[in-house]
Amino acid sequence: MSGNFLALAQPGVQQLSPYVPGKPVDELARELDLDPAKIVKLASNENPLGASPKALAAIREELAELTRYPDGNGFALKSLLAEQCRVDLNQVTLGNGSNDILELVARAYLAPGLNAVFSEHAFAVYPIATQAVGAQAKVVPAKDWGHDLPAMLAAIDANTRVVFIANPNNPTGTWFGAEALDEFLQDVPEHVLVVLDEAYIEYAEGSDLPDGLDFLAAYPNLLVSRTFSKAYGLAALRVGYGLSTPVVADVLNRVRQPFNVNSLALAAACAALKDEEYLAQSRQLNESGMQQLQAGFRELGLSWIESKGNFICVDLAQVAAPIFQGLLREGVIVRPVANYGMPNHLRVTIGLPAENSRFLEALRKVLARG
Ligand X SMILES: *Cc1c(COP(=O)(O)O)cnc(C)c1O
Site residues (vs ligand X, CB under 6 A): 45, 97-99, 123, 166, 170, 197, 199, 227, 229-230, 235, 240
Q: Supply φ then ψ for residue 205, to 5 degrees.
A: -55, 135
Output the CA–CA distances (angstroms, integers) from residue 92 to 197, 335, 363, in the order listed: 15, 32, 43
Residue 230: CB minimum distance to ligand X, A = 6
Roughly how many angstroms between the first and final C-alpha of the chain, as a whole number? Answer: 53
The span from the CA of 250 to the CA of 88, in Å, is 13
The span from the CA of 236 to the CA of 96, in Å, is 10
Calculate the CA dihedral of residues 26, 31, 33, 35 and round it to 10 degrees. -20
- Asked whether 198 and 241 are in contact (CB, 8 A), the reply is no
Q: Looking at beta carbons only, is 123 or 215 nearer to ligand X?
A: 123
Chain residue whose CB lies nearest ligand X: 97
Q: Looking at beta carbons only, is 241 or 366 nearer to ligand X?
A: 241
The span from the CA of 264 to the CA of 267, in Å, is 5
Question: Hey, what amino acid is at 291?
Answer: Q
Q: Looking at beta carbons only, is 324 or 340 nearer to ligand X?
A: 340
Residue 101: CB minimum distance to ligand X, A = 8
Residue 81: CB minimum distance to ligand X, A = 14
98-109 helix and 125-132 helix, angle to the nearest 10 degrees: 30
Residue 131: CB minimum distance to ligand X, A = 17
Residue 51: CB minimum distance to ligand X, A = 14
Q: Looking at beta carbons only, is 199 or 268 nearer to ligand X?
A: 199
Can you tell me whether residue 211 is helix, strand or coil? coil
Residue 122: CB minimum distance to ligand X, A = 8
Q: Looking at beta carbons only, is 237 or 320 nearer to ligand X?
A: 237
Q: Looking at beta carbons only, is 149 or 366 nearer to ligand X?
A: 149
Tell me, what DSSP letter sits at residue 92? E
Give the count of beta carbons closer than 10 Å to the beta carbon of residue 292: 17
| Among 89, 90, 93, 70, residue whose Cα is nearest residue 80 | 89
Residue 169: CB minimum distance to ligand X, A = 7
Calculate the CA dihedral of residues 205, 207, 211, 215 and round it to 10 degrees. 160
The helix (run of H) or strand (run of E) holding residue 195 is strand 193-197
Most distant pair of Cα atoms in the chain: their distance: 63
Residue 275: CB minimum distance to ligand X, A = 18
DSSP 145-165: TB--HHHHHHH--TTEEEEEE
Residue 170: CB minimum distance to ligand X, A = 3
Q: Looking at beta carbons only, is 108 or 166 nearer to ligand X?
A: 166
Q: Looking at beta carbons only, is 12 or 97 nearer to ligand X?
A: 97
Q: Looking at beta carbons only, is 12 or 240 nearer to ligand X?
A: 240
